[in-house]
Amino acid sequence: QVHLVESGGGLVQAGGSLRLSCAASGRPISIYAMGWFRQAPGKEREFVCGISWSGGSTSCADSVKGRFTISRDNAKNTAYLQMNSLKPEDTAVYSCATDVRPWGSGSSAGAYDNRGQGTQVTVSS
C-alpha cells in the first residue's frame, strides 16, 4: 500500500505562486500515473492535473491550463504541482493520488485512489 503526503500549501495573494509536493512511501510509484485533485467547501472534488507514469504526458483541467504544471521525479518518489497566477477561486484542499492501474496516461479518466490527506491552499483577493 502506498502512503502519500502532500505539502507546500498555504496562504497567498491573488497572482502569487505555490509549489505543492506529494511524497510517496511504501512502494515505488514509478509505474503509476499520478493526479492532483482539489475540493473547495461545499463543492465536489475535481481533477486538477495528471501525469503519466513516465512523466511524458500531462493533462490539466481547463480552469488551470496555462497556470498550473504537474511534474514528477520518480527517483524521489515524488510528484509536484506548480501553481502560478493563482486566483481566489483556486482556494481548496489539494490532494494527490495514484492510479491503481500501472502504465496510466495521467488523464482525468484514470482510476485514482490511494489519496493523501491534502494540503490547504488559500488565495486572497
> Number of C-alpha atoms within 13 angstroms, CB side, residue 15?
1
Mean pLDDT over each residue of the chain, to the nearest integer: 96
What pLDDT band is residue 48 in, cutting at 50, 70 and 90?
very high
Arithmetic mean of pLDDT, 29-52: 96
Arithmetic mean of pLDDT, 93-104: 95
Per-residue pLDDT at 1: 83
Cα of first residue to Cα of last residue in the chain, in angstroms, is 40
pLDDT one-digit tens code per residue, 49-89: 999 999 999 999 999 999 999 999 999 999 999 999 999 99
Arithmetic mean of pLDDT, 29-43: 96
- Residue-by-residue DSSP string for 51-115: E-TTSS-EEE-TTTTTTEEEEEEGGGTEEEEEE-S--GGG-EEEEEEEEEEET----TTS-EE--
Per-residue pLDDT at 116: 86
Per-residue pLDDT at 69: 98
* Cα separation values, 18 from 56, 60, 83, 122, 123, Å: 23, 17, 5, 10, 10
Decide if pLDDT at 104 tops 80.
yes
Please, which residues have CB within 8 angstroms of residue 39's CB and are 6 or more apart in sequence?
Answer: 45, 46, 92, 93, 95, 118
Per-residue pLDDT at 53: 96
